[in-house]
A and B are shown apart, each in its own frame.
Chain A
Amino acid sequence: MEQDLTKEITVTVNGETVRQRVEPRLSLADWLRDRLGLTATHLGCEMGACGACLVMLNGRPAHACLTLAVQVDGEMVETLEGLRDRGVIADLQAAFHERNALQCGFCTSGMLATAHALLVDNPHPDRSEIRDALSGNYCRCTGYEAIVDAIASTAAARTIDQGTSG
């Protein structure tokens, strides 16, 4: 019989405290997808090259495929499901929809995570800064331009909103 190597972890996932026993080899991505059913997090390469698995880890985008679930014990994970439910990316989601900045949808959660973090760090990115921020997010369908447009238009709209509201 296999040796029981499982460890108990307690992680805040999308605002909820989750306590589970996991095998140390289990990646954060597999844990989120297979154990918690949070399937917005996708796996495209399992080596940190495609960005499909990006989640917010303690508020910053991180690769869930390059992180073991045991490593995030005591930390805060937010997936697209969490960002969606908090409403913090509603305008980004709307801009992606309006601009058709996705096709198959497999890269989308990673793109949104990157875009969300970019606009927090740099509310007025130019197009080359947006492209640079997306340098680790692979999309086979769109050719990227619509994604850049959607992020740029969200940034512009946020600027106007802040200008008018005070």
Chain B
Amino acid sequence: MKSPALDYVRVDSLSAAFDAFEAGDGDAQFLAGGHSVVPALNLRLQAPSLLIDISRIPELSGVELCDGWLRICAMTRHAEALTHPLIIHHAPLLCAAAPFVAHPAIRNRATIGGNLVLADPASEFPAAALAMRAEMEIVGRDGVRRVPADAFFLGLYETAMRPGEILRSLFVPPAREGQRVAFDELSRRRGDYAIVGAAIQAVMADQRLSDISIAFLAVGDRPIRAAKAEAALRGGALDGATIAAAQAALEGDLDLEDLPQMPASMRLHLARVLLGRVLGRLGGP
């Protein structure tokens, strides 16, 4: 399990990163924390000829408020999602999801940008980004564009990013009055890939739910918004009947496949159980 031979360059600006990528002739790979790239190299699942280390580009670092949005730059480590005061306050769903991402030492080094760009459908942050209705700020040679999360995750390990582009930051919209969040997942061991996970953000006012978004992870080729379940909840109270309706509606949201170790029907059952539990937590203190 040793990486294949490759070249490496560390760049200190975005323009240098683009230059390096172009010089790499289509066979270069950006490297941030490396916690997805390096295991893939060790397993020889990837063999780029060049790694471009973008982890020390100043424009990719930092967490700040920007026009009321929270801007989390790509090199922010997972661990900061648990400790950074701005993230705790302005992106509580990301903070709620963070303890479920792998293990403490991984979180020290792995970057949020790297995680989002990998677009692992079983990963927690993409689902949280989707539920937060966050936007991805992408930079390329031709400039900057912002892509909403639901247009960013396109498929298995597939995003709206074009070759040579770099995810610069995650923009989290400002919180509404009465906003609540909850995250949970079912996994066999702490830190494992989830059997199913759910991230929910909603506004609760006068005992009524509004502005709700629910994103599931580990249910398909990308994080999935549960639009029909959201519709069943919208305007309702967080009571047993409404939750049951949302659980029933979930079948229309998730197109689950049989897995070798678990049939689709059981996965749907678990997604419904989880939805009920996370909604229950949403109503909690």
Give B38's nearest chain A residue, CB to CB: A66
- Give the interface SS of chain A, mostly helix, strand, loop or mixed: mixed
Which residues of chain B come closer than 8 Å to A118, judged between CB atoms? Answer: 104
**Docked complex: A130-160 residues within 8 A CB-CB of B:** 132-133, 135-137
A5, A62, A73, A114: the one within 8 Å of B10 (CB): A73
Instruction: Report yes or no: A25 in contact with B3, Cβ–Cβ below 8 A.
Output: yes
Which residues of chain B come closer than 8 Å to A33, judged between CB atoms? Answer: none
Which residues of chain A come closer than 8 Å to B55, judged between CB atoms? Answer: 71
Compute how far the CA of A143 lies from the CA of B78 in the bound complex, rounded to whole angstroms.
29
Residue B1 at the A interface, CB < 8 A? Answer: yes
Compute how far the CA of A99 lies from the CA of B92 in the bound complex, rounded to whole angstroms.
40
Residue A67 at the B interface, CB < 8 A? Answer: yes
Chain B interfacial residues counted at CB < 8 A: 31
Residue A68 at the B interface, CB < 8 A? Answer: yes
Compute how far the CA of A71 lies from the CA of B8 in the bound complex, rounded to whole angstroms.
9
**Docked complex: A62-100 residues within 8 A CB-CB of B:** 62-63, 65-68, 70-71, 73
Instruction: Report yes or no: A27 in contact with B3, Cβ–Cβ below 8 A.
Output: yes
Residue A57 at the B interface, CB < 8 A? Answer: yes
Which residues of chain A come closer than 8 Å to B264, judged between CB atoms? Answer: none
Which residues of chain B come closer than 8 Å to A19, judged between CB atoms? Answer: none
Q: How far is the CB of B28 from chain A (nearest CB, A)?
A: 12
Contacts across chains A and B counted by CB atoms under 8 Å: 95
**Docked complex: A1-52 residues within 8 A CB-CB of B:** 2, 5, 7, 23-25, 27, 30, 46-48, 51
Instruction: Report yes or no: B6 in contact with A71, Cβ–Cβ below 8 A.
Output: no
Instruction: Report yes or no: B7 in contact with A136, Cβ–Cβ below 8 A.
Output: no
Residue A119 at the B interface, CB < 8 A? Answer: no
Residue B178 at the A interface, CB < 8 A? Answer: no
Compute how far the CA of A25 lies from the CA of B51 in the bound complex, rounded to whole angstroms.
10
Contact with A along B71-109 (1 / 0, CB 8 A): 000000001000000000000000000000011111011
Instruction: Report yes or no: B5 in contact with A25, Cβ–Cβ below 8 A.
Output: yes
Give A59's nearest chain B residue, CB to CB: B108
Give A69's nearest chain B residue, CB to CB: B8
Which residues of chain B come closer than 8 Å to A137, judged between CB atoms? Answer: 103
Compute how far the CA of A68 lies from the CA of B51 in the bound complex, rounded to whole angstroms.
11
Q: A23-B5, A25-B2 are in contact. Are A62 and B104 (CB under 8 A)?
A: no
3 A-B pairs with the lowest CB-CB distances in the bound complex, closest first: A136-B103, A24-B8, A25-B3
Interface residues of B (CB under 8 A from A): 1-8, 10, 31, 34-35, 38-39, 41-43, 51, 53, 55, 79, 102-106, 108-109, 189-191
In addition to A25-B4, A118-B104, 12 A-B residue pairs with Cβ atoms within 8 Å of each other are: A25-B3, A25-B6, A27-B38, A47-B43, A61-B105, A62-B105, A66-B34, A68-B8, A68-B38, A70-B53, A71-B53, A135-B104
